[in-house]
Amino acid sequence: MDIIIELKGGKIVLIRRKNPPFGWALPGGFVDYGESLEAAAIREAEEETGLKVSLIRQLHTYSNPDRDPRRHTITTVFIARAEGSPKADDDAAEIGIFEGDSLPRPLAFDHGSILDDYFRQKQKEKAGKTLPEQTEENIRKVLERLKDKIPADTRIGIVLGTGLGGLADCLEQPSFVSYQDLPSFPHSTVESHQGRLLWGRIAGRNVLVLQGRFHLYEGYSAREIAFPIRVLAVLGIKVLIISNASGGLDPLFDPGDVMLITDQINYTGENPLVGPHRESWGPRFPDMSQVYDRRLNALAKEVAEEREIPLRSGVYVGLKGPSLETPAETRFLISMGAQAVGMSTVMETITAVQAGMRILGFSVITNVNRPAKMKKISIKSVIETAQKAEPKLMTMVEGIISRISL
């Protein structure tokens, strides 16, 4: 039997009984000790920890009858809440105290899936309900890790999307840290997203680069996706250049085209600004009438023309994913006025607008969705097409950065 006790402040007490407290599962059922299983669990937990315990939930698992089917047993996990600091008075129990976002190895042989699901759900709830104070504390931890590493005059940030990580190769004097080494930073789980924060110089300007981003379809909340952008804001980033790989909705587009994003549609059903707010993040209700900076867009067009790079322009619509669009959905998105569709970007740009950043966005068109002639596509082909378009995007980004007025 395992007992999970949630404490205020996010800590978890996990108790494993070393001997059966109530009896064994016999053909006739549990041995009756004169109290219910629930009452016995509360009593045992209170005696072992010194806490006042309230039972929330009871779950059962069935052990595998690998030796003798007649000895098939029912085992139990209890979930409870309590206040105070636990102490272990009973040497018949093993007590572990964990942070709420830790994932301890399951202590009971057949409770692995229940405990894993429980802690996974607790992490998801915590991510969805992160208080502003917690977010700012997490930002402080990241800044401490980056202390004295990033030049203080860095004002340009770049977010690289699927298949576009190679843009980081144009950095001069590059340095980096893995996302996994940054406290509370999400981890990239998608192919071609390397998961590194880089800094260096492009066209003589200091830049910060997020090589790999995060998506709602990975299971991250909108607030988690916003977190790296909030870190960039505190680091002093004023201009954000954002890129993505997307499907073309305009029949005149071709795979490999680069589209300048002029506006966006958030069709994910999510918003990173939902929930408790902090005035230091920016306005509670940021104006979205001009997400993508007009002066930066004009500069991008100038650079593209000078360097003879064909540049499309249009509206990007962000979906949650990960399933791709049906022909009917594609018709609907076209009717909304979108020229490209993807599964990223909109959470980041909403956060950046709130932070007061000037935004320049590019979509690399990896395929064109024609509702009457939809073709199957794969992530492999998406990455390959995006990588082929990288040189054009590199040339444009370098030319733009060299002429940005900060």
The CATH number assigned to the domain holding 349 equals: 3.40.50.1580
377 phi, psi to nearest 5 deg: -130, 160
Do 284 and 357 lie in one domain? The reply is yes
Q: In 3-state terms, what secondary structure has residue 357?
A: coil
Do 212 and 138 lie in one domain? The reply is yes
Do 157 and 113 lie in one domain? The reply is no
Other CB atoms within a 10 A radius of the CB of residue 246 amount to 31
Do 235 and 354 lie in one domain? The reply is yes
pLDDT in tens, 273-295: 998 898 999 999 999 999 999 99
What is the reported pTM?
A: 0.70
Do 213 and 94 lie in one domain? The reply is no
More confident residue, 269 or 9: 269
Give pLDDT, residue 35.
Answer: 63
pLDDT in tens, 34-43: 567 677 777 7
Q: In 3-state terms, what secondary structure has residue 185?
A: coil
Give pLDDT, residue 189.
Answer: 79
Average pLDDT over residues 393-398: 93
Q: Which of 89, 110, 128 is the last residue of a domain?
A: 128
Do 110 and 241 lie in one domain? The reply is no
Q: Which of 93, 128, 163 is the last residue of a domain?
A: 128
Give pLDDT, residue 342.
Answer: 96
Residue 45 has pLDDT above 50, yes or no: yes
Do 149 and 28 lie in one domain? The reply is no
Q: Residue 100 is part of a domain; what is its CATH number?
A: 3.90.79.10
The beta strand positions in 249-304, using DSSP E, are 258-266
Give pLDDT, residue 312.
Answer: 97
Give pLDDT, residue 15.
Answer: 66
Other CB atoms within a 10 A radius of the CB of residue 186 amount to 22
304 and 278 Cβ atoms separated by less than 8 Å: no
Q: Which of 128, 158, 179 is the last residue of a domain?
A: 128
Which stretch of 19-28, 127-136, 151-160 has the lowest confidence by average pLDDT? 19-28
Residue 109 has pLDDT above 50, yes or no: no
Quick one: pLDDT band at residue 22, thresholds 50, 70, 90? Answer: very low
Which stretch of 23-32, 124-133, 224-233, 252-261 has the lowest confidence by average pLDDT? 23-32
Do 286 and 388 lie in one domain? The reply is yes
Q: Give the total number of structural domains in the chain.
A: 2
> Which DSSP string do the residues of 116-168 spell out, in sequence order?
HHHHHHHHHHHHHT--HHHHHHHHHHHHHHTTTTS-TT--EEEEE-TT-GGGG
Do 303 and 261 lie in one domain? The reply is yes
394 and 167 Cβ atoms separated by less than 8 Å: yes
- In which residue are the tokens 């492999």 written? 380
Among the ranges 66-80, 127-141, 262-276, which has the highest mean pLDDT value? 262-276
Q: What element of type H or E holds 143?
A: helix 132-145
Quick one: pLDDT band at residue 402, thresholds 50, 70, 90? Answer: very high
Do 73 and 45 lie in one domain? The reply is yes
CA distance 363 to 211: 16
Average pLDDT over the chain reads 82
Do 327 and 380 lie in one domain? The reply is yes
Give pLDDT, residue 166.
Answer: 75
Domain, as residue range, for 237 = 132-403
Q: Report percent pLDDT > 70 for the chain.
A: 74
Do 171 and 56 lie in one domain? The reply is no
Which stretch of 105-114, 137-146, 173-182 has the lowest confidence by average pLDDT? 105-114
